[in-house]
Amino acid sequence: MRDLTTLPDLNVALIQTTLAWHDRKANLEHFEQLLEQARGTDLIILPEMFTTGFSMESQTLAEAENGPTSKWLRAQAAKLDAVITGSVIVQAADGSHRNRLLWAQPDGEVLHYDKRHLFRMAGEHKHYTAGEHQVQFELKGWRVRPLICYDLRFPVWSRDAQDTDLLLYTANWPGARRLHWNRLLPARAIENLCYVAAVNRIGTDGKGFAYTGDSQVLDFQGETLLGAGEADGVFQVVLSAAELAAYRMRFPANLDADTFELT
């Protein structure tokens, strides 16, 4: 078993804000200003499709895998000495369009996760190709597993079989289903015995859908450590590996978890 007590605390920043519809330049300029407020943190999380808003116009908006947003993220991560992550519309090497979370590290490496569950009610499955693999990233010894928006509804895909310390959700989750967001996130934290950090946007998109934020960080018991409500800004919290380790020792429900295979 890993000794979490040897890990440093993790300083996490959530950026909850409005998004300019289909305007990458405006969004990157806006986030560049906000990122300065997150200086000194280890991990900075941006919303889903943070350069465009949640759009189905993948043909016209998709960037190459090493496109301008990937390069911008690398530069910002190096400047702030922090991992920066959020999802963008990408055309993969095989020509498919992906809702892809980019994980930009200060050393210049960019890793990724492709959204598995595409939001059928908006037709996302008609414009994007679903991801096939869970992924896990490491940051200062912490195991971080990223997921995107609609993935939250699927507990099997969210279920931890890899000793994850932090589940990360980036989203464009509309206010009409705010109740679901606020109930499912604590469930994921409790069932996986881990922290959860979730970033949503605010404002109204180009289709007229309103977003009410509720970006938040929860501990392993589903208790709120940070709640942004509907505010615009940068929100920070420090996660304790020692507290996570102590809880898992007191309540090792993971030892009785069912085994299963994803296909």
**Residues paired with residue 98 on neighbouring β-strands, in sequence order:** 90
Annotated active-site residue 57? The verdict is no
pLDDT score for 263:
80
Among residues 63, 115, 124, 194, which one is catalytic? 115
pLDDT score for 159:
86
CATH class belonging to 9-256: alpha beta
What are the 10-residue block averages of pLDDT along the chain, 263 residues in total?
A: 89 98 98 98 98 98 97 98 98 97 98 98 98 96 97 92 89 98 97 97 98 98 98 98 96 89 82
Among residues 48, 63, 124, 194, which one is catalytic? 48
Among residues 63, 124, 149, 194, which one is catalytic? 149
pLDDT score for 62:
98
Annotated active-site residue 149? The verdict is yes
| DSSP assignment letter at 41 | -
pLDDT score for 162:
65
Decide: residue 254, CB within 10 A, 0-12 exposed, 13-18 middle, 19+ buried: middle
